[in-house]
Structure 1
Amino acid sequence: MNKYAIVGVGLVLLGLAFAAVPELTGPLSLGESIVTVIGVIALLQGLRTVQGRRHADVGQTELPTPERPQELPTPGEEIDATIESGDVTFGRQGRKLNERLERAAVDALVLGEGLSEDEARQALENGTWTDDPLAAAQFTNTVPDWAPWRVRVRTAVRRDRPRRARRAAAEIARISGVYDDE
């Protein structure tokens, strides 16, 4: 054990003994002068500690690099990318997109409109699930009879599958209560 530690422990024990049995301090007759001496010693010790800290190197903790937020895909982003790419043909990509849109439309009609799954599929087949003739044409492959004649002529002249898919996706989002933030 260090000699200073031994002296410190001894002084603490002596102080505890004086506190426990005050009669032991009678023969010492220490007056106010001892309080002044102890105060000066405490002040000098405090100054020594401050000086030691002023001249010591400051050690700073290095913080780890904060995590960057992970980029997660937005739901529906894949459908939007497929529609924008123009791969809305009758091939595999087009069938896959049509199946996803149909599944989303059925879910939207069941959850948003309160229809049963069979009623939702029937509404898609009839084109009655929306007021938008191009969106309705996405699942019927023909423009509904109730559509204005201009729309029927325009879609007969040009088959615009990406536009129909885009309109169907927008209508599904509207029914679901999902709105584009952009």
Structure 2
Amino acid sequence: MRTVTAFAGLTATVFGFAVVVDRGLAGAFGLDYLVVTLVGALALVQGIRYGLSRRKTTFHATTTDDPELRYHVPVPGDDVDVEFAGERSLGRAQKRERVRERLREAARETLVGYGGLTTEEAQERLDAGTWTDDPVAAAALRESPPRPSLVARVRAMLRTESPFERSARRVVDELVAIQEGSR
């Protein structure tokens, strides 16, 4: 049976190539609706037969190696998280001081680079709180920041962000304004 099927397939393939090469050969056989339908039905039967024979075969799974792990490269600022430093946690004071020092350093560099000040003048303005007109940003980077009033503390309790986060955000906003030239 297998030899007959292989011979029929080979004959059909050769005939198909012959029809493509010589169009006159196709007219001799009269490729009308009936012939095309029979060829389609034969193709459908063969497709079903091969599909059913594949159902009996066993599947083999391939095991793959573990994916390559990416090397983690630190991003500048990864070690400083203003929101995490604002939460109540152990070591909060050290985290806040580290963020505050980074902000002071950025402000000093901004005042020197964009404000035309020397490093000593920038440091004096940061310590005195005269580097900006924003009182919250100025107080955040002063050497000894003043204690907020009772009204300011009550307002801070009603806000969604902590006073530390708010002051850090205001400092960054001021630094961006200085760098963009709007201050």
Measured against the shorter chain, the TM-score band is 0.3 to 0.5
Give the number of the structure whose alpha-carbon radius of gyration is greater: 1
The alignment's TM-score, normalised by the length of structure 2, stands at 0.45
